[in-house]
Amino acid sequence: MGGALDPLSGIGPEQLRIRELLSRIGERVDDVDITEVIIATDPNTEGEATATYLVRMLRDIPGLTVTRIASGLPMGGDLEFADELTLGRALTGRRVLA
């Protein structure tokens, strides 16, 4: 896409290649049976805005599932320095081990 949405810096959907991305996905859903788009943006304000925008643009395409990679605490990261959003995502993305 060429970056992330950042309205404070004047970067909106028009400055990124979002329209081209949506066009390619729309064309290929019928031709190649795309069933999933995985969103992998940085876990910061701009990444959140971009992911939210993409979900809104993609969610109504029939037969397409939109997912996002998990984020959470890095290996060796100190729990006491984790912010609320990171902790929340770490809990949301947890999995059963036994």
Structure tokens at 35: 């069933």
DSSP per residue over 18-38, as a string? Answer: HHHHHHHHHHHHHHH---EEE
Residue from 15, 25, 80, 84 nearest 50 by CA: 15
Q: pLDDT band at residue 54, thresholds of 50, 70 and 90?
A: very high
Share of the chain above pLDDT 90, in %: 6
Q: What is the pTM assigned to this prediction?
A: 0.72
State residue 98's pLDDT score: 46
Sketch out the chain's domains with CATH numbers. 7-92 (3.40.1360.10)
The helix/strand count (H/E) of the chain reads as 3, 2
DSSP 3-state assignment of 11?
strand
